[in-house]
Amino acid sequence: MQLRKNDALVIVDVQNDFCAGGSLATADGEEVAATLSTVARQFSQKNLRIFATQDWHPEGHSSFQAQGGPWPQHCVEDSAGAAFHPNLRLPVGSSIVRKGSDTNVDAYSGFLDSNLEELLRAAEAKRLVVGGIATEYCVLNTVLDARKLGFDTYVLKDAIAAVNVEEGDGAAAIKKMEDAGATLIAAGDLSETSR
């Protein structure tokens, strides 16, 4: 896949709480962070836009088990768990998109409870390359919404990590993304921008 002018990279929730040692850890979060750093550098070198979403929950968010939700407390605003994983090195000029700050909205999708669509439209993005955490929740919903909004969407199959509450959840999510019209690629498939 040749990178071109209207491409944008969307990095979904590569945060400490979703990586080893976090309250809602995936098995490969640190590797995802490192791979996305390499991809982000490629985009930056070609002056292409990078958007990184960040779960940013208030204390007592409705998704937390203490409030009757399904998840342990995670990504509380301004906490160490909400910070991007140190393996994720975002180039200067990357846009940070916070979501889930409404107590009552879980905001699995990067487009929900955020200004991501507005930022992508302003950047005249047409094709999105998406990676991040977790495959079957925030990556899946971000990709499904991107397709509904008409973006040509590519998923970095080697830069996503699943929670796999039930065995096979991640694989099922990948099939749903493909069924919605997303294309699976590897980070190594990205090549120089055509001029």
Active site residues: 13, 99, 138
The residues, any chain, with a CB within 8 Å of residue 136's CB and separated by 6 or more, are 162, 163, 164, 169, 170, 172, 173
Q: How far apart are CA 88 and CA 90, in angstroms?
A: 6
Copy the structure tokens of residue 86. 């140190």
**DSSP characters over 18-30:** GSTTSTT--TTHH
Q: How far apart are CA 33 and CA 132, in angstroms?
A: 8
